[in-house]
């Protein structure tokens, strides 16, 4: 089963365009790099089915420059909320987007990044996906990471109808090198996966994935691959 999951995951490829114009981390996606980026859509994680309801759809985009990998999420969401306010709180229990990045091709070690609708960050370095020591792994910090969120709607008003929340993430390649690889650059092959946790009022909690794991998100065999376009 693990081998089947690994083969399925490697079918998922996202291509990051190179940008020379710079990216402002503000959650707005108004730079040329984002306007020309090719998005991928998240699916239902457990079933692997395409999400047919555009009110809860999620698009992910990537681009890069000489020093930084940029990741963008556009999350359609009628009920945008979170109670968390502090870095490394347990964002995965409410609404959040997640990025897993493996820079060394060692399946059990990878960076995990989560961002909430309130732009609260959880960043960690996983060394044992089956038995995660949450306090220990959360002690890891990406020193240069920058994130921003913009919202079309009203955060934490559970009675109105919201539209979407956007997340921009900037991860310096030097930060990824600190995770366990000596020299990570734009030419380095990177394995990734993207997720979203969605918990709207009156509906069951949902998990979405780019490369579905059909269970726990922490399944490195299902990672796809990010390719850097020149």
**Can you tell me whether residue 199 is helix, strand or coil?**
coil
User: How far is it, in rounded angstroms, from Cα 44 to Cα 48?
Assistant: 5
How many CB atoms sit inside 10 A of residue 25's CB? Answer: 15
For the domain made up of 2-228, the CATH class stated in words is mainly beta
Residue range 64-94, pLDDT digits in tens: 999 999 999 999 999 999 999 999 999 999 9
Does the reported pTM lie above 0.95?
A: no
Backbone dihedral angles phi then psi of residue 41, each to the nearest 5 degrees:
-105, 140
- pLDDT lower than 50: segments of the chain: 1-10
**Can you tell me whether residue 56 is helix, strand or coil?**
helix
DSSP state of 37: -
Could you state, in order of their start, the residue ranges of all structural domains in the chain? 2-228
According to the model, what pLDDT value does residue 78 have?
97
According to the model, what pLDDT value does residue 177 have?
87
């Amino acid at each position: 089963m693990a081998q089947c999951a690994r083969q399925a995951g490697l079918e998922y490829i996202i291509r990051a365009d190179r940008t020379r114009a710079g990216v402002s981390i503000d959650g707005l996606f108004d730079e040329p790099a984002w306007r020309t980026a090719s998005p991928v859509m998240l699916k239902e994680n457990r079933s692997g089915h395409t999400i047919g309801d555009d009110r809860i759809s999620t698009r992910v985009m990537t681009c890069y420059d000489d020093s930084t990998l940029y990741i963008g999420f556009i999350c359609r969401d009628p009920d945008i909320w979170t109670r968390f306010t502090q870095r490394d709180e347990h964002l995965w229990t409410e609404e959040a987007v997640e990025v897993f990045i493996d820079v060394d091709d060692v399946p059990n070690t990878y960076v995990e990044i989560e961002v909430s609708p309130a732009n609260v960050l959880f960043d960690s370095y996983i060394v044992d996906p089956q038995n995660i020591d949450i306090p220990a792994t959360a002690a890891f910090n990406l020193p240069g990471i920058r994130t921003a969120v913009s919202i079309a709607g009203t955060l934490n008003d559970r009675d109105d109808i919201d539209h979407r929340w956007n997340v921009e993430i900037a991860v310096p390649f030097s930060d990824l090198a600190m995770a366990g690889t000596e020299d990570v650059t734009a030419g380095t092959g990177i394995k990734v996966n993207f997720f979203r946790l969605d918990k709207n009022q009156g509906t069951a909690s949902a998990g979405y994935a780019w490369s579905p794991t059909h269970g726990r998100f922490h399944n490195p065999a299902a990672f796809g691959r990010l390719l850097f376009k020149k």
